[in-house]
Amino acid sequence: VLMGHKADKTTDKTTSLSLG
């Protein structure tokens, strides 16, 4: 989720689901 948050707010949501 940290990576996604840095990359983009929208990506954060997707990354969060991927990482769990």
| pLDDT tens sequence across 1-20 | 555 555 566 666 776 666 55
Q: What is the pTM of this model?
A: 0.14
pLDDT at 19: 59
Query: How many residues are given for the chain?
Result: 20
pLDDT at 7: 55
pLDDT at 16: 63
pLDDT at 8: 63
Separation in Å, CA 5 to CA 12, 17: 4, 12
Q: Which two tokens stand for residue 5?
A: 């948050």
